[in-house]
Amino acid sequence: MSRSCVPALCLGVLLAGSLVAVPVPSQALTDHLKCYKVRDSNPSDPAVVNLLPRFAGFFPLEQGCSLRVRSRSICVPVEKEVEVAPPDPRAISGQALSKAYLCYTVRCPAAAVVSDQRVVDQFGDHTVGRFVVKQLCTPAVLADIGPTTTTTTTLPPTDCGNGVVDPNEQCDDMGESFVCDVNCTVASCGDRTVNTTRGEQCDRAGATPICDTDCTFAICGDTTVNSAAGETCDPGMQTGNCDADCTAALCGDGFVNAQHNEQCDHGGESFACNGDCTIASCGDMKVNSTRGETCDAGMQTGDCDADCTAALCGDGFVNAHHNEQCDDVGQSANCDLDCTLAFCGDMQVNSTRGETCDTGSENGGCDSDCTDAVCGDGHVNAPANEQCDDIGQSANCDLDCTLAFCGDMQVNSTRGETCDMGSENSGCDSDCTDVVCGDLHISPPANEQCDTGGESATCDFNCTVAFCGDGYRNPSAGEQCDDGNDFDGDGCHNDCTLP
């Protein structure tokens, strides 16, 4: 695999629809190229090359590309250790590299426009476009590191091409022919000599990453399986068994193969794509943990919410199959903690509604409004022996929430009571006011014989019956004096008049 990236760090990449994602190996792998900008002392001689694409379905054949053989950069194999991981790392690796690469500025005639491509590397998912050929990188040997295998090419005899088969020649057709190579050897595919008259495009004496065994350029889609180029199949087009990059069609290889019934392929499960290469959506009956799904029954069930998470009271989703009537992510004025509709009498104490108790019905400890039963709370609670509750004392209700009346032994000042002994006594009148002579209430227990609201002809001021000789002068009764006896001559006649 050749790469050009100056000056940068080249990574193994996955071209969506062409390369296969390979898991990152456990051992370090020199599958990256580190590139240096250099100054080359080589003369700037011209050269013309044809560039044959490895991914023919995505990149065009470039012919007649010109360059100067003075390199601009050199790239050497390196291993990479990540100290700070990118936000979306991917498990992509390349092949172990052993050679350096010299990179040259190259210019090619206008070719077919390359469409934008989705490319995935270890740093994430990219979309790249505006493709322009700028560099060509060729394998190179670092002389100071050591020699590498050298291929010796046998030059044709100096008299080859004269039309005479000399002793050291196998044939001589005065140039290349269908049966004779330009070096005067018998032409055959695999003889390492490219014979264009025979239709050969290349000849590497066998399959190589750029040349098929039939001496044509190795291109995915040429119906020739070239294992040296990484092909495992080549039916000439994408099929249900073969991807467009001539590798076996597998869900998870990063290529969307519709003939393989794939709707997507992100190299594994992703937010948008399931592990079986179908478009991910809640309700597809496939649990996609990357989307946050914990279940997917195809519809809402008693165990699975409509958003494909486990059905739980308090998760914010009303799941009728889970016997939920509401779900406000906790208690609310309308919803209890058990996800049932909140109302007083549901036997769920809902403090958000102001409830302090809920026994299902009113009792001695809980009012009908689901608050604690307290005399004075405005709720008449019969089980708590309340007869009334006017939020305090009133003319009709005592402080103990019983009906107010004189004789109930509850002093109700709102009714005008100043006392209440349960019955009349020397201190309390029958109307529950304090006993006072002159209050118009006759209180026998207080020794009152009468009470006309003050002195009268029949009642003395001390509330005793008025009569002459009672010792109390009662002017209202016509008395001028009253010495408490019926003797005359003692200053007061016995008819209580003065002498």
DSSP string spanning 364-398?
TTB-TTSSB--TTSS---GGGT-S---SS--SSB-
| Measured distance CA(385)–CA(312) in Å, rounded | 43
In this prediction, residue 20 carries a pLDDT of 34
Task: Give the per-residue pLDDT at 28.
Answer: 55
pLDDT of residue 142: 80
pLDDT tier at 111, thresholds 50, 70, 90 = confident
pLDDT band at 75 (very low <50, low <70, confident <90, very high): very high
Q: What is the predicted pLDDT for the residue at 19? A: 36
The DSSP string of 307-348 is TSSB--TTSS---GGGT-S---SS--SSB-TTSSB--TTSS-
- Cα(26)–Cα(452) distance, integer angstroms: 119
pLDDT given for residue 143 in this prediction: 72
Q: Amino acid identity of 487?
A: F
Burial class of residue 375 (count of CB atoms within 10 Å of its CB; 0-12, 13-18, 19+): buried
- Cα 149 vs. chain centroid, distance in angstroms? 57
- Rg of the chain over Cα atoms, rounded to whole angstroms, equals 57
- Tracing tokens 């180029």 back to the chain, one arrives at 229
Other C-beta atoms closer than 10 Å to the C-beta of 414 total 15
Who wins on pLDDT, 22 or 297? Answer: 297
Q: Could you give the 3-state DSSP secondary structure of residue 477?
A: helix
Average pLDDT, the chain: 86
Q: How far apart are CA 198 and CA 177, in angstroms?
A: 8
pLDDT at site 252 = 93
- Look at residue 7 in the predicted model and tell me its pLDDT: 36
More confident: 157 or 43: 43
Q: Do 103 and 35 form a contact (C-beta atoms < 8 A)? A: yes
Identify the band that residue 455 occupies on the pLDDT scale cut at 50, 70 and 90: very high
Confidence class for position 44, pLDDT limits 50, 70, 90: confident
Dmax (CA) for the chain in angstroms is 204
**pLDDT given at position 87:** 79
In this prediction, residue 144 has a pLDDT band, given cuts at 50, 70 and 90, of: low
Query: Over 80: is that where the pLDDT of 18 sits?
Result: no
Cα end-to-end span (Å), the chain: 158
Q: Distances in Å between the alpha carbon of 54 and those of 18, 189, 190, 218, 255?
A: 10, 21, 21, 7, 16
DSSP 208: B
Instruction: Quote the percentage of the chain above a pLDDT of 90.
Output: 61
Confidence category of residue 338, pLDDT binned at 50, 70, 90:
very high
Among 51-60, 89-98, 104-113, 376-385, top mean pLDDT goes to: 376-385
Contact yes or no for 65/107 (Cβ under 8 A): yes
For the cut 80, the answer to whether the pLDDT of residue 54 exceeds it is: no
Which pLDDT belongs to residue 376? 94
Please say if the pLDDT value at position 235 is more than 90: yes
**pLDDT band at 350, cuts 50/70/90?**
very high
- Which pLDDT score is estimated for 6? 34
The winner for highest mean pLDDT among 45-54, 81-90, 419-428 is 419-428
Q: What is the mean pLDDT of residues 484-496?
A: 85
